[in-house]
Amino acid sequence: MAAKPSVTFSPLDEAGEGTLVLLAGAEGALPGGLNEATASLARRAASVGKFKGKSLSTVEATTPEGETNDRVLVIGTKGDAAPTGEDWLKIGGVAAGKTSGSKAVTIRCETPDGPLSAQDAAQVALGAVLRAYKFDRYKSGKGEKAAEEKEKEEAPSSIVLAVSDPQAATAAYEIAAAVGEGVVLARDLVNEPANILTTTEYASRIEALAEHGLEVEILDEAAMRDLKMHALLGVAQGSPMPPRLCIMRWNGGTKGEAPVAFVGKGVIFDTGGISIKPAAGMEDMKGDMGGSAAVVGLMRALAGRKAKVNAIGVVGLVENAVDGNAQRPGDIVTAMSGTTIEVLNTDAEGRLVLADALWYTQDRFKPKFMVNLATLTGAIIVALGNHHAGLFSNDDELSQRLTAAGLATGEKVWRMPLGKEYDKMIEGKFADIRNIGGGRAAGSITAAQFLQRFVNDVPWAHLDVAGTAMGSPASEYNQSWASGFGVRLLDRLIADHYEAK
């Protein structure tokens, strides 16, 4: 991976090194308090062309020899409303993106409306760090672009944020940076190919999180057989990779208080099984563990920032492959809950994995609620594209909280319906239920109905992240295939509603 920039905070009145980034308001107005040379240069840059200080628009100028700052970049902050947390994240992303090639960057966290709060400055810093993320560990450098060329694309190695209260901003950034570590971990896991991130390798990376204070437990195939998790095991049986169920616990809340629980689909590769997928684009199915990666990243974030909450993360790790022992269409399996399932399509495997993971989680931990994340259906991409995850829930309050957290973080969710009519579409012919609805109609909803059969009336929400965990267009704060979607969203949900103050 590309080196992470160092982030430090300094007082506003200190002249910073390297490229200077200034934040402009309406009509390109600059904050006061700049030294005269910088101010006149920035004013000149800002008067060029049509710079009106519009949010995320930029102008830049090179300074004459001998100045402290070799370059000045002005970023607009003027939107329709006051900037939100996500806007500051984007501004940080633009700052890092537009200064690639500079070694050091100083971002002056002040607009004509005054200095940024510690929280907002921390989001600017996080945006810059997330923008700098690159998954390049398999680029050997052989036969590559000239080193010089490459350097121009590198994010700055040092980012200084000039703020009104460096101590407060440093404290706020410690928390934001822990969440950032979780996002980066989730991105790494999703970007890794399946020959490297095997089920067992994935489980050992999760085990290593104990270093951050998480309690980790790993169930192997025999343990899952004892628990009668035949829905999950049926998916795994066509692959030489053994399945794993990983349980992470973060006990930061009141002792004995019911935990919040997060469950993830961790299909490290989805060939479709005997109902095999077409060849074109199948490589993307290395990301079919994106839901689980968000759960792992979230647990890392909670531990990193010592969240005052009891939280459980459960991920089911399997490969959906195809060999002589693979599950067939028509096979009937009995889930841990006792429900019997006709497997009519072996490519509808995520719901089979989650059936046992969800049942196990509610049965063992009696959580306040469960949120599961899964790259569950192609149909959710047809419905919502890459800009919202599908939200399905049996609980209005949890839905509203997730929706609000989505708007605050920019990891947006859109609620979709559940209902008896849809539940009927998964009635089985030879068993209790079948693993697909009839035909192509309501594909994401019937998948959610299937999951609901395994939540036992616990408040629950399912996030279908097939369109958002990977392959979304590059953004101000993510240039990588994997996005880490879900980590910031769920961290925010917890911070806003489930932490002791």
Residue 143 zone, left/alpha/beta (φ > 0; ψ -120 to 50; rest): left
User: Does 242 sit near ligand BES (CB under 6 A)?
Assistant: no
Helix axes 166-191, 118-132, angle to 10 degrees: 30
Q: How far is Cα 434 from Cα 425, in angstroms, rounded to an integer?
A: 9
Is 300 a known active-site residue? no
Q: How far is Cα 104 from Cα 408, in angstroms, rounded to an integer?
A: 30
**Shortest distance (Å) from residue 358 CB to ligand BES:** 16
CB 292 within 8 A of CB 315: yes
User: Does 288 sit near Zn ion (CB under 5 A)?
Assistant: yes
**Shortest distance (Å) from residue 287 CB to ligand BES:** 7
User: Does 291 sit near Zn ion (CB under 5 A)?
Assistant: no
Helix axes 487-497, 396-409, angle to 10 degrees: 120
User: Which amino acid, 100?
Assistant: S
**Shortest distance (Å) from residue 270 CB to Zn ion:** 4
For ligand BES, the closer of residues 86 and 270 by Cβ is 270
**Shortest distance (Å) from residue 91 CB to Mn ion:** 38
> In this chain, which of 63, 111, 372, 377 binds ligand BES, going by CB under 6 A?
377
The stretch among 137-145, 255-263, 345-353, 381-389 that binds Zn ion (CB under 5 A) is: 345-353
**Shortest distance (Å) from residue 460 CB to Mn ion:** 22
CB 282 within 8 A of CB 332: no
> In this chain, which of 20, 91, 436, 489 binds ligand BES, going by CB under 6 A?
436
**Shortest distance (Å) from residue 273 CB to Zn ion:** 10
Per CB under 6 A, which of residues 257..296 are in contact with ligand BES? 270, 288
Q: 3-class SS at 64?
A: coil
For ligand BES, the closer of residues 83 and 443 by Cβ is 443
CB 361 within 8 A of CB 451: no
Helix axes 199-207, 290-304, angle to 10 degrees: 10
Residues written for the chain: 501
User: Binds 377, which of Zn ion, Mn ion, ligand BES, none (CB < 5 to 8 A, cut-off by type)?
Assistant: ligand BES
Q: 3-class SS at 434?
A: strand
User: Does 375 sit near ligand BES (CB under 6 A)?
Assistant: yes
For Mn ion, the closer of residues 299 and 436 by Cβ is 436
CB 430 within 8 A of CB 456: no
Catalytic-labelled residue, pool 98, 131, 187, 351: 351
User: Binds 466, which of Zn ion, Mn ion, ligand BES, none (CB < 5 to 8 A, cut-off by type)?
Assistant: ligand BES
User: Does 270 sit near Mn ion (CB under 5 A)?
Assistant: yes
User: Does 347 sit near ligand BES (CB under 6 A)?
Assistant: yes
The stretch among 29-37, 40-48, 92-100, 342-350 that binds Zn ion (CB under 5 A) is: 342-350
For Zn ion, the closer of residues 288 and 356 by Cβ is 288
Distance from the first to the final alpha carbon of the chain: 36
Residue 429: phi and psi, rounded to 5, are -95, -45
Q: How far is Cα 349 from Cα 367, in angstroms, rounded to an integer?
A: 25
> In this chain, which of 166, 313, 350, 410 binds Zn ion, going by CB under 5 A?
350
Catalytic-labelled residue, pool 103, 277, 368, 415: 277
User: Does 57 sit near ligand BES (CB under 6 A)?
Assistant: no
Q: How far is Cα 86 from Cα 176, in angstroms, rounded to an integer?
A: 12
Residue 236: phi and psi, rounded to 5, are -75, -15
Rounded alpha-carbon distances, angstroms, from residue 292 to 101, 311, 316, 373, 485:
35, 15, 8, 7, 11
For Zn ion, the closer of residues 48 and 382 by Cβ is 382
User: Does 251 sit near ligand BES (CB under 6 A)?
Assistant: no
Enter the tokens of residue 285: 């199915």
For Mn ion, the closer of residues 347 and 464 by Cβ is 347
**Shortest distance (Å) from residue 361 CB to ligand BES:** 20
The stretch among 9-17, 237-245, 264-272, 444-452 that binds Zn ion (CB under 5 A) is: 264-272
Half-sphere CA count of 410, side-chain side, radius 13 A: 16
Q: Which of 261, 181, 184 is nearest to 484 (CA)?
A: 184
For Zn ion, the closer of residues 170 and 375 by Cβ is 375
User: Does 347 sit near Mn ion (CB under 5 A)?
Assistant: yes
Is 434 a known active-site residue? no
Cβ-proximal residue to ligand BES, closest one: 378
Enter the tokens of residue 468: 């958002």
**Shortest distance (Å) from residue 455 CB to Zn ion:** 20
CB 74 within 8 A of CB 58: yes
Which residues are near ligand BES by CB under 6 A? 270, 288, 345, 347-350, 375-379, 436, 443, 466
Binding site for Mn ion (CB under 5 A): 270, 347, 349
Report the catalytic residues. Answer: 277, 351
Please give the residue ranges that form the binding site for Zn ion (CB under 5 A): 267, 270, 288, 350
